[in-house]
């Protein structure tokens, strides 16, 4: 059972061997919060929704203080065909802001976009700025593997201590994959963290060297690595994984960004 759990750890970290987009750029010097929406289009209305949200984003492009959302299509898992929309780099106070364009924008969204939406589920997440290895330049990254982790009751400290140890070892050992962790602070299941790993394409998802075990064994020794993972793995359980595809045209606010 412990060996199976260790394999899940490796699969989650290696990602078939977020977010998500522009984390390093948009979440410095703030509370590192993001508003994330899981959006389901009405049957047969996906194309219409994409056209409507593109027009709406262009309308919102010059609105000072407006949240700018990056859009992703979910390509694997139970939510295949749905969308993730994410606006990151926020402080808590940003959610209190009011603008002179709020009423007009709200009415436009309700009349032109909402008719194509079956449902939406909103959460607020926070980037863990102590963990992760992230690209300096996100140019070309189009795929994001996302895995939910659930910390077992009473195991927060043990989980966090172990994860910090793994994170430091991977950084020092030159592990070749990028990743970041987010915690859900509102709207989700308690004690949830999300692992996000970016890839440029499917070929980029193939295993790379050195492997997770190579780095860990070199730093700790094979027996100590096995013992450490066997002790740490019961502190959490791995949940659903999905693959997101970045949709730049749906994320454009009229300025190409």
Cβ atoms of residues 234 and 149 within 8 Å? no
SS3 137: coil
In whole angstroms, give the CA distance from residue 139 to residue 147: 23
In whole angstroms, give the CA distance from residue 144 to residue 72: 9
Domain-wise residue ranges, the chain? 2-246
Tell the residue number behind the tokens 């064994």, with chain if given: 217
The ranges of the chain with pLDDT < 50 are 1-19, 21-22, 24-25, 27, 256
The pLDDT value recorded for residue 190 is 85
Cβ atoms of residues 66 and 105 within 8 Å? yes
pTM to 2 decimals?
A: 0.88
Which is nearest to 193 in space by CA: 202, 204, 181, 205? Answer: 181
Cβ atoms of residues 146 and 196 within 8 Å? yes
Tens-digit pLDDT profile for residues 76-91: 999 999 999 999 999 9
Q: Which fold has domain 2-246?
A: Alpha-Beta Plaits (3.30.70)
Which is nearest to 96 in space by CA: 35, 36, 184? Answer: 35
Would you give the distance in Å from CA 207 to the centre of its chain? 21
Tens-digit pLDDT profile for residues 83-123: 999 999 999 999 999 999 999 999 999 999 999 999 999 99
Cβ atoms of residues 22 and 70 within 8 Å? yes
DSSP 133: B
List CB contacts of 158: < 8 A, sequence separation 6 or more: 232, 235
Cβ atoms of residues 30 and 91 within 8 Å? yes
In whole angstroms, give the CA distance from residue 184 to residue 206: 29
The pLDDT value recorded for residue 26 is 53
Tens-digit pLDDT profile for residues 192-218: 999 999 999 999 999 999 999 999 999
In whole angstroms, give the CA distance from residue 90 to residue 99: 16
């Amino acid at each position: 059972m412990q060996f199976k759990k260790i394999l899940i750890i490796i699969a989650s970290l290696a990602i078939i061997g977020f977010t998500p987009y522009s984390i390093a750029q948009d979440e410095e010097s703030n509370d590192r919060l993001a508003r994330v929406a899981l959006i389901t289009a009405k049957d047969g209305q996906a194309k219409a929704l994409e056209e409507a949200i593109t027009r709406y984003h262009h309308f919102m492009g010059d609105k000072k203080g407006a949240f700018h959302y990056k859009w992703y299509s979910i390509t694997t898992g139970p939510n295949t065909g749905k969308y993730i929309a994410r606006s990151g780099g926020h402080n808590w106070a940003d959610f209190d802001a009011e603008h002179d364009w709020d009423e007009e924008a709200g009415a436009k969204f309700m009349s032109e976009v909402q008719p194509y939406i079956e449902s939406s589920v909103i959460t607020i997440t926070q980037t863990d700025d102590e963990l992760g290895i992230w690209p300096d330049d996100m140019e070309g990254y189009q795929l994001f593997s996302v895995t939910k982790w659930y910390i077992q009751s009473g195991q927060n400290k043990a989980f966090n201590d172990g994860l910090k140890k793994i994170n430091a070892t991977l950084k020092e050992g030159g592990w070749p994959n990028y990743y970041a962790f987010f915690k859900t602070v509102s709207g989700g299941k308690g004690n949830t963290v999300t692992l996000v790993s970016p890839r440029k394409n499917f070929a980029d998802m193939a295993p790379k060297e050195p492997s997770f075990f190579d780095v860990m064994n070199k730093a700790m020794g094979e027996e100590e690595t096995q013992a450490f993972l066997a002790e740490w793995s019961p502190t959490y359980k791995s949940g659903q994984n999905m693959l997101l595809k970045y949709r730049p045209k749906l994320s454009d606010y009229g300025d190409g960004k």
